[in-house]
């Protein structure tokens, strides 16, 4: 959308003069296009697991399956059901974050509890496959605890999911001139430069199959972006393919 789309109205005026009224519809069209894309992507993402589930149900109804095969089918159907659940939860989270009826009611955040919870969740997800550490300075912010937990948690879980076993992940919370800084650094697969600016778009993934294998919905970074928007914060991403990434969140201090 580098070009702008203008609608021009020429209104006759007195003495053979005319008034030119321009109306910039670039933003309206962009929003409409994003809405259409979102619905198409979401439908596609939901259709895939549903097709698997219906396929297995049809087999179960038409064939006599031995117990082991039936168990294997049930396991696969359960996985696909969970995938749909995650996706719907993330879609609901995003729509709540965007809703004007859901204004932010900022409260002072207990950052120690929050970060220790993020660390625990990341360690549980990693199940001992990575070295995960947390460094903390005393710096206070305000906001919504659950939203910040979801944003920080998404960044930490991405670091685990995109770092092969044996790698390390560093979480840090520090005071900086620009604000309170939360950094997640990993020694994972990294991201090539051409993808970086698009990562917070809904359903944008560098590698779809890797994202799915690790229970990704493609909405995690879009959620992070929206939470930070509501908190007056921002996200910056540095990464090198094959070496690792660092995601830095900056939030206003109180
Ligand atoms: P997903 O559910 O696919 O992980 P996200 O919105 O959280 O969705 O991330 C979007 C994409 O950004 C991912 O699919 C992945 O390609 C890339 N990505 C996110 N975090 C990392 C990371 N720490 N290392 C490498 N790639 C990452």
Sign for the CA dihedral angle at 40, 79, 242, 156 comes to positive
* pTM flag (> 0.90): no
Any ligand 1 atom below 6 A from CB of 223? no
User: What average pLDDT does the structure give for the chain?
Assistant: 93
Instruction: Catalogue the E-assigned strands of the chain.
Output: 6-12, 18-24, 107-108, 131-136, 142-143, 168-176, 179-186, 234-240, 244-251
Cβ-proximal residues to 124 (8 Å cutoff; 6+ apart), any chain:
none
- Cα separation, 111 vs 131, in Å, equals 22
SS3 8: strand
SS3 94: helix
Mean pLDDT of the 85-89 span: 95
Complex-level ipTM: 0.99
- Residue nearest atom 4 in ligand 1 by C-alpha distance: 216
pLDDT digits (tens, 9 = 90+) for 120-152: 999 999 999 999 999 999 999 999 999 999 999
pLDDT band at 2 (very low <50, low <70, confident <90, very high): low
What is the CA(221)–ligand 1 centre distance, in A?
7
pLDDT digits (tens, 9 = 90+) for 17-37: 888 888 888 888 888 888 888
Ligand 1 atom closest to the CA of 207, numbered from 1: 16
- Cα separation, 202 vs 208, in Å, equals 13
């Amino acid at each position: 959308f580098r070009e702008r789309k203008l609608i021009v109205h020429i209104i006759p005026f007195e003495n053979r003069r005319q008034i030119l009224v321009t109306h910039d519809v670039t933003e309206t069209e962009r929003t409409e296009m994003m809405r259409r894309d979102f619905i198409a992507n979401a439908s596609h993402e939901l259709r895939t697991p549903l097709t698997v589930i219906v396929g297995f149900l049809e087999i179960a109804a038409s064939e006599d399956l031995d117990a082991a095969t039936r168990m294997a089918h049930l396991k696969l159907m359960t996985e696909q059901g969970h995938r749909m659940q995650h996706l719907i939860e993330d879609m609901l989270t995003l729509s709540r974050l965007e809703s004007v009826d859901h204004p932010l009611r900022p409260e002072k955040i207990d950052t120690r509890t929050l970060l220790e919870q993020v660390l625990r969740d990341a360690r549980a997800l990693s199940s001992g496959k990575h070295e995960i550490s947390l460094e903390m300075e005393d710096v206070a912010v305000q906001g919504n605890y659950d939203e910040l937990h979801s944003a920080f948690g998404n960044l930490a879980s991405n670091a685990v999911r995109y770092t092969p076993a044996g790698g390390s992940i560093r979480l840090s919370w520090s005071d900086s001139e620009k604000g309170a800084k939360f950094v997640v650094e990993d020694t994972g697969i990294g991201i090539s430069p051409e993808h970086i600016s698009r990562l917070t778009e809904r359903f944008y993934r560098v590698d779809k199959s890797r994202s799915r294998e690790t229970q990704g919905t493609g909405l995690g970074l879009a959620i992070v972006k929206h939470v930070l928007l509501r908190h007056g914060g921002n996200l910056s991403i540095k990464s090198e393919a094959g070496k690792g990434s660092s995601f830095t969140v900056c939030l206003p201090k109180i």
